[in-house]
Chain A
Amino acid sequence: MRQLMVLAALAALAACGGGGESGNGQAEAAGNGASVGESATGAKGAEGAKQSLLASLTGSSDYATLAGAVKAAGLEKTFSGAQPYTIFAPTEAAFQALPAGTVDGLLKPEGKGQLTALLTGHVVPGTVTAEDLSRAVDRGKGKAQLATMAGATLTVTKAGEGLVVSDAAGGQARLVSQDGAASNGVIHGIDKVLAAQ
């Protein structure tokens, strides 16, 4: 175990030394460190081929606004790092449905606190697939609760064949795409922006 840590630390060090700048160096170091650890423990390394959550968001025209918001809030390294997250990702249509000027206001420097809270309110820890959600709803007699990274709770229910996720204020969003797999988590597209708290 100690050897692993040393290996991971070395990898992180090496990556930093090469990069020098504070930009992506650290995030990549984190990624490398984890992958060294994984292969050494014998865990499956097949996930390496997938791109990160961040790359998935920025690479999709469906999530252009969300990707911009993630960048403005400084969450890029979070979503390109080794930690797994599940993102309930509002689509372009979801952002367009907000009152005019809302997004612009959030992207201003003084709105970043709220922007950060809003975004982290769409994120839950770990990798929760649509099937996991569906099972949890069945087991929970019709609903399942998910703790968000903003400290609030989302409630998942079923509506017909689909899944619906609700915020604490009662806002409801439907999963319009599911299981966008990434190396460090999964993205479910939703048709409405949820309230942070």
Chain B
Amino acid sequence: MFGALADHTRRDIVRRAITDEEGIVELASHYTMSFAAVQKHIAILERAGLITKQRVGRRKVVRTNLEQLRIVRRLLDQYEELWRGRIDRMRELIGETVDALDISTSEPISEPADALNTAETKESHR
């Protein structure tokens, strides 16, 4: 499932375009796929703002927009934090239902104290 996400060609284009000042035709020559397919990858990267086409003298070259790459990474990191928080809350909710079931089928609880005692015992063995 994760494997499907990794696109080596796009990664490679971004990597090359950091240092090499190549036009689309030159870039495409590195890959066995069709020129149209490479163009498509470049269009996706351009839409994401990760590369730009710039004029250098008479040539049009593809350049990686490092600033944008950093911004996108940061945004994805924030989104990851958001989902980690949500998943933590999901886990708590699921835990609550389990606890609720335990309580409903047993006597009033003295477990927290027991848990503490156990923890202390463990500590003292160190």
A binds B: no
* Interface residues in chain B, defined as those with a beta carbon under 8 Å from any beta carbon in chain A: none
* Interface residues in chain A, defined as those with a beta carbon under 8 Å from any beta carbon in chain B: none
